[in-house]
Structure 1
Amino acid sequence: REQYGYTIPQGIITKLFPTPDWRYTTIDELKDRYVLLTDVRYPERQFFGSSGEYIALGKPSEGYWFVKIDGRDWLGPWEAMKRCRREAITALEDVEGWTVLGKITAITNEVPQAEEVKTMPFQWGWVVTPIALHAPGLVTAWYDPGAEKSGLFAGEEGLRAIKEAGYTVKALPADTTPLQVMETFVTAIKEKNKELYLACVDPARYKTGQGYDLVANYHWDLHQMRFREHYVTVTFGEPRIETNKGFDERSKAMDYFLTAEQKDTARQIGGTRVEYAYIDCKAWDENGRQYGSPKEYQLKRVGDGPWMVETYDVPF
């Protein structure tokens, strides 16, 4: 390789291209060397190969880096970034190119193409096992094999205390009206208070693993995105309350025609009261314009229990 003037870079590899030429370089010369990869596109450049799952960085004329993403080394930091997005930095949703610090651990021959039908030829690439994941200008997450979730983002341990200090609503009182529940529901979303958000939703909606993922992750993410991109505040109309089961305490006819004793009998026969509240809401953007059409939210109360949001998935 000396006759071609080829030398192996020293220290952390930051000059990414052309990559070290596999024809003149052995894995022993590069193994465990650090490399700092920039503009890593995920999931755009993700592909499944015969030796694992990777993100490709490069092209045939310059060589390839293959970031290995099927292990905890990647999944830990990536999940930490998702937690950070849900709990603190919504702008992570807009990140297109990530920076990855990793170690060179192998060399492999793969077709770096996401499509199921491969049309490219095989390419040699240096396999990089991630150590840390960075969103430029925002936050860094890293792999920690000793951590409960195998990944942490910078400041995660102290984030809870910082956030709690800024919450305008700490908890949901048991005697809250339907309107107050909806106002608290919106406040929880805007202040990224997931515990309070869940406290507003009917627990029956997230008692299973799949239900929890829908409420606490999927639709939470959608609510966060909408408040970031579409609207900034929500207003509500007056609740309309209907009794679905049991004695209707609000019925003027029942109050007029029945004696107190007859009402007690009706309560016993009717069983536990189930009520629904319906509230119209309007969303407004930063310019004071209404976003979309009014939406209806449904809440439920069983007996003398608290009002709970049923249609948590409806956009405002």
Structure 2
Amino acid sequence: MNPQSTEHSFYARDSVHQLAPLTWPGAKPLALALVVSAEYYDLYPAPHAFTPPNVPGGFGRGPYPDFRAFSIREYGNRVGVFRVMNIIEKAGLKATLAADAHVATTRSEVVTTAMALGWDIAGHGVSVTEVIGEHLTEVQERDYLDRSLTPLRQLAGSKICGWHGAEYGESTRTPSLLAEQGISYLLDWPHDERVVPMATPNGTILSLPMSADLDDVMAHWHRKISMQRWCRSVLDAVQRLCQEGVNGGRLLILNLHPWLIGQPYRSSHLEQLLQQLCSRDDIWFTTTDRMAAHAAPPSPLQRSPLETADMTLR
């Protein structure tokens, strides 16, 4: 892929009407999964690290050490994540923990608790203050992925299937390098409401689009939407997707950040939302690993998707 191009060759330009319908288990029109993003904020980011100037949790770029931003993320890993875990478990659901390498090495209890609950574990970069971008060389990015995934693999003792980049960050090489690492799906492309196969030189990787619009940080921190309005928005989205999903399964993946939605006054709204969602009988409540496993094509797609206009999911 040419990094100077305004296009890419990961998938064909299929509209919602062109891919063969995907049927979820039980013929449910909607598959819904929760991702809980556990993130570490470096007091002193590495000299080569790219940190977005508006990374949530702080008040803009300031002198280091930035104890305010560090402490807000620390709250998520000390308090908020366990509150969110309890709420999700109380609802009878499982989730995916997207954990970065620093959480795995310095707050391993977060990862081991999720594993004990039977949750999926996905890679989430090195830290929230070190984001992938085109500024990395291929060698540097490959090293970044190694540093991100190795601590999780050592803790989990099993294959890590999924990836959610810190701050959704990717380069033009990331899907291919993730496939090289044995990652089967990524969550960083909010480009659809279905599973989209992405062809790379290292084989197919699936895109499971998370709803960036309903991401709690995007909704509450950046756009200042109230919890009541956010809950209503999720319910409205579910209603619409269930209606349209009868003609081909849709998905909704909600990204939750414990430092934000794990706050006492926000978490009660999450609890009420999950109760309302679980009262429906037209949703397949699943995890991202299981969603990807169900949607995986029967065989890897090696050709460029632009040459495979009839690419379909079975």
Higher helix content, 1 or 2? 2
User: Is the shorter-chain TM-score for this pair beyond 0.5, marking a shared fold?
Assistant: no
When the two structures are superposed, what TM-score results if normalisation uses the length of structure 1?
0.22
Higher alpha-carbon Rg: 1
Higher relative contact order (CA 8 A, sep 6+): 2
When the two structures are superposed, what TM-score results if normalisation uses the length of structure 2?
0.22
Higher strand content, 1 or 2? 1
